[in-house]
Amino acid sequence: MISIPKGTKDVLPAESYKWHYVERLVRETAAAFGWREIRTPTFEHTELFLRGVGETTDIVNKEMYTFQDKGNRSVTLKCEGTAGVARAYIENGLESQAQPTKMYYITPVFRYEKPQSGRLREHHQFGVELFGTDSPYADAEVITTAKALLEKLGIKELELYLNSIGCPVCRGRYNAALKEYFEVRQNQMCPTCRERLTKNPLRILDCKVPSCGEISKDAPVILDYICDDCRAHHEKLQEILTYLGITYKVNPRIVRGLDYYTKTVFEFVSGAIGAQGTVCGGGRYNNLVAEIGGKPTPAVGFGMGLERLIMVAEAAGLYLGEKECATLYIAPIGEEQVLYAYALVQQLRAKGIAAETDISGRSLKAQMKYADKSGAKFVIVLGDAERQSGIVKLKEMSASKEEEITIDGLAKRLGR
């Protein structure tokens, strides 16, 4: 037996309706907010992620699925959604269209991580990316989109954490303060954080090793260091959210895992699904487009983990759509009726009615068992008499009641 690769999951037919439901709400929400879908490749040149995600991040250092293709190019499976979208924005000259550009995606994401509950090697994200304005209203546009989806799903208990991590101007001063603070505590820190100390001290605040988390608690807080422009941005965003009645907490520990963030960073976190409780993370990334070769372009976005989102919804016992079953099962009696029934379901299907019939040559009893198990809403037993008279008994399975109906009237009764 060849088994599934570690850290990946099958979504089986009995569960996929939940995904369809969530994806439908995602698309409805995106449409209402004016996000339009972009689809980018599942793999990109490795260079894009090195420059776009940043060489000091966990993703680039430890988590990328990178390989040489047969033409000896280094390619990497999508390890996050933003870099590919930013590349497409530049490469297709989208900046020359009406600005801002608002795009969304649903995509698989691949990261070589230690698999655990809520942490997979292939997971899926709904993401939005907005290019072309530095206004805090754009940040609000992104945050309210995530919030609207969570509300549509009925998820209430998520906390919204907000922070600003400043811009390259003010972050320099903050990094210096962090270095000073952590340098004298180096020997209590994990080896990776000791390395981060010289390369990118901000990353230490994101470390998941408990002892590093302890030390970080008393570290200098970025909000004491940000410049007037970043502060004004941060405050305006809070004013907008407050005006809209969106509750949030400013949390100076939120720094996000990617190098390209500037100013706003935020996370939606659930307490209901254990340690991997961050369902959505995002922020502003004003330097990314220039970093990967475009004109300097302010941008903001988020990525939302769909597996974690579904976990939260399930933990709260929320509605996640209806099981997808046939509307009608037609059980032909005897060989003579099989072909007739088969043609009949084809006609009904053409009219958009989910209909099935016997394709395995089974007895009536076995067919009824199948119809019941498969969850068909209605069943018809079709023998010679029914075919001759053109009248059948339509049995509603859940109600155990029957009605007489003409075969010609079936489509109208069951469908559209």
Smallest gap from Cβ 365 to ligand ATP, in A, equals 45
279 binds ligand ATP (CB under 6 A): yes
307 binds ligand ATP (CB under 6 A): yes
Smallest gap from Cβ 4 to ligand ATP, in A, equals 15
- For ligand ATP, which is the closer residue by CB, 125 or 287? 125
Which regions of 260-382 does DSSP assign to beta strands (E)? 262-269, 278-284, 299-305, 328-332, 355-357, 378-382
- Binding region for ligand ATP (CB under 6 A) out of 162-170, 217-225, 239-247, 277-285: 277-285
How far is the C-alpha of 165 from the C-alpha of 185, rounded, in Å?
23
By CB under 6 A, name the one of 303, 310, 337, 367 that touches ligand ATP: 303
What are the beta bridge partners of residue 329?
356, 379
The mark string for 150-189 relative to ligand ATP (x by CB under 6 A, - otherwise) is: ----------------------------------------
* DSSP string over 184-226: TTGGGS-HHHHHHHHH-GGGGGG--SHHHHHHHTTSPPGGGT-
Beta strands across the sheet bearing 378-382: 355-357, 328-332, 378-382, 391-396, 401-406
CB 56 within 8 A of CB 196: yes
CB 170 within 8 A of CB 225: yes
Amino acid identity, position 63: E
276 binds ligand ATP (CB under 6 A): yes
The mark string for 120-139 relative to ligand ATP (x by CB under 6 A, - otherwise) is: x--x-x--------------
- Binding region for ligand ATP (CB under 6 A) out of 29-37, 112-120, 133-141, 196-204: 112-120
What token pair was written down for 134?
């530095």
The mark string for 308-347 relative to ligand ATP (x by CB under 6 A, - otherwise) is: x---------------------------------------
How far is the C-alpha of 327 from the C-alpha of 226, rounded, in Å?
60
- For ligand ATP, which is the closer residue by CB, 269 or 379? 269
Number of C-beta neighbours around residue 125 at 10 A? 23
113 binds ligand ATP (CB under 6 A): yes
How far is the C-alpha of 106 from the C-alpha of 27, rounded, in Å?
9
CB 289 within 8 A of CB 296: yes
80 binds ligand ATP (CB under 6 A): yes
Smallest gap from Cβ 120 to ligand ATP, in A, equals 4
Site residues (vs ligand ATP, CB under 6 A): 80, 111, 113, 118-120, 123, 125, 257, 276, 278-281, 303-305, 307-308
